[in-house]
A and B are shown apart, each in its own frame.
Chain A
Amino acid sequence: MITIRLKQQDCKSIIAHAKNGLPNEACGLLAGKADGDVKTVEKVYLLSNPDSSPEHFSIDPKEQLAAVKDMRANGFVPLGNFHSHPSTPARLSEEDIRLAYDGKASYLILSLAGESPVLNAFGVVGGEVLPQVVDLLD
């Protein structure tokens, strides 16, 4: 099973970004190092959601381009993306799965539906959802 190692600080940034974006979904990209089944997140890109919707998100290609260049300059590889679910659980929706084209990417979902935020990670290979482990680092 694939493990995503995420710094506590980066997790907090993701939660803050998602809360700032309410009532809309918030999103961003993850970059770092991949070593076999272990992906270590070195940088989180907090991006805007051009859909400005509580039910949808997309990554702005301009911001995506800038992030990809920054990753390359830092020697990082793209690891995947994250987005928030303001009022549904931390799992991939049908639409999330349908739009998950990249079999190598990790898709992180942060749910703000409950009292405390829940962050889960998944891979999607050929339409099949494979849960991944999020390992929070100090």
Chain B
Amino acid sequence: MKLTVSGNEKEYADGLSVAQLIELEKVETPQYVTVSVNDEFVESGAFAETSLNAGDIVEFLYFMGGGQYGF
């Protein structure tokens, strides 16, 4: 099946889960990554049970944050 991952359309195995895609795409520090599928955010605990369907558009977003104190 075809998926669009981070803007690139590629062929993937049918029934792939979000967790498997993260591994396949070698996403670094996945614990800090937010995943969206067709603009819907996937709960971080649900990566393994969320399977992808042909035509899905997947984005990986890195958490960005900080604070002003503590040197």
Contacts and interface: CB of A to CB of B under 8 A. Distances in A.
Interface in A30-75: 51, 53-59, 61-62, 64-65, 68, 72
What is the size category of the interface that chain B forms with chain A? Answer: 20 to 34
A85 interface: yes
A86 B41 CA distance: 31
A94 B70 contact: yes
A57 B67 contact: yes
Contacts, number: 72
B66 A99 contact: yes
A88 B39 contact: no
B64 interface: yes
A95 B66 contact: yes
Contacts of A88: 68-69
